[in-house]
Amino acid sequence: MTDAPPPPPLHATDPARFRAGADAIEHALFEVKRVIVGQERVLERVLVCLLARGHVLLEGVPGLAKTLTVETLAEVVGGTFTRIQFTPDLVPSDIVGTRIYRASAERFDVELGPVFANFVLADEVNRAPAKVQSALLEVMSEAQVSIGSETHRVPRPFLVLATENPIESEGVYPLPEAQQDRFLMKIVMGYPAHEEEIEVVQRMTVRPPHASAVLDPLQLQALQELTDQVYVDRAEVEHAVRLVGATRDPAGHGLTDLVPLLAQGASPRASIGLVRAARGLALLQGRGYVLAEDIRACALEILRHRLVLSYEALAQGVTTDELIVEVLRAVRPTEHGRLTMVGRRTATR
């Protein structure tokens, strides 16, 4: 495998600036793929979250390289990495830190916890009790920790990737829906394809490959700031809001079949998440503007953990992904100043 060319500097005139940013991200992705085989959508969505300053809830059975993915990403970006194995006996101070009395100096010193890193892997987050989960989610939301009378900010950039094992339900503490909403995306990691698994076995049974650092935290922060500058037209914002609104009022959007299946729709945080993620996806593709396709491409990961199914839906075995596909089918992007929907047209303001 030949080395990819080094990324161009992140300074140029307007359109070229976004292309240069995309090249830098592509170079980082190339290094990650030296280690991780397949999982294209997973890697892309994790990078989108990183650019959008969002956190990831990753669901998948053991052995799918969830830990290795985060470790490799930290190596490529050059940031610090910690892994916290969540267990039922953890207490909040185990992850955020505590005050320790030094008898020799007759004073209290602050010992910061493992959450103070650029990349934090919260492994099997649903195995820890609610107090520990809340402590982690507070850090994710506030980007700081208060210990005693002192406030300590986490390093920048800061990404929490929490994993869940979907095949076990005993001895776990499922994240409440309100807490899941703190994650920008919920990404489902599946089994590799046949050829991909052959490649995994060949790589990992001889001498596992290692990625090289091609960025540093300052460059990543520059890319995050560049993501903030990606233009989003009002029409695309309205499309995101309509998609989310259809989960709260399905009947009003021609989705009467979904009414008995949805107990609770997504909050405005989902609309914000769609726009933030779409900006990151647009930059990955070298564009300085968001298309409706960017918003729709992120809808599954943004919405799947924000919808609450009714008992009827659970009894029928309906999944949130199936409902989101129906919403995407019904609510169409803007077209000549009007928003089209299946069986109806609604004028935009």
Rounded Cα gap, residues 63 and 170, in angstroms: 20
Residue ranges per structural domain of the chain: 14-210, 230-343
Angle at 125 between CA 67 and CA 70, to 5 degrees: 20
What mean pLDDT value characterizes the chain? 83
Average pLDDT for 129-144: 84
Task: Find the Cα–Cα–Cα–Cα dihedral 275, 281, 284, 288, rounded to 10°.
Answer: -40
Q: What percent of the chain has pLDDT over 90?
A: 25
- Give the pLDDT of residue 247: 92
At 348, the pLDDT band (50, 70, 90 cuts) reads very low
Q: Phi, psi (5° rounding) for residue 271?
A: -60, -45
- Give the pLDDT of residue 334: 66
Domain 230-343 = CATH 1.10.8.80:
yes
Q: Which two tokens stand for residue 278?
A: 């779409």
- pLDDT tens digits for range 71-128: 888 888 888 888 888 888 888 888 888 777 777 776 777 778 888 888 888 888 888 8
Q: Between 94 and 172, whose confidence is greater?
A: 94
From residue 233, alpha-carbon distances to 19, 31, 211, 267, 292 in Å are: 20, 33, 38, 21, 10
Architecture of domain 14-210: 3-Layer(aba) Sandwich (3.40)
Continuous segment of H or E residues that includes residue 185: strand 185-188
Q: 148 near 99, Cβ under 8 Å?
A: yes
| Nearest one of 128, 95, 124 to 112, comparing CA atoms | 95
Q: Which two tokens stand for residue 261?
A: 């299946």
- Give the pLDDT of residue 344: 38
Comparing 167-171, 179-183, 231-235, the range with the smallest average pLDDT is 167-171
DSSP letter at 344? E
Highest mean pLDDT among 14-18, 246-250, 340-344: 246-250
- pLDDT tens digits for range 305-336: 999 888 998 899 889 999 999 999 988 886 54
At 172, the pLDDT band (50, 70, 90 cuts) reads low
Is pLDDT of 275 > 90? yes
- Give the pLDDT of residue 8: 44
Rounded Cα gap, residues 241 and 260, in angstroms: 22
Q: Which two tokens stand for residue 12?
A: 């140029």
Q: Which residue has the tokens 């809001």?
A: 241
- Give the pLDDT of residue 168: 64
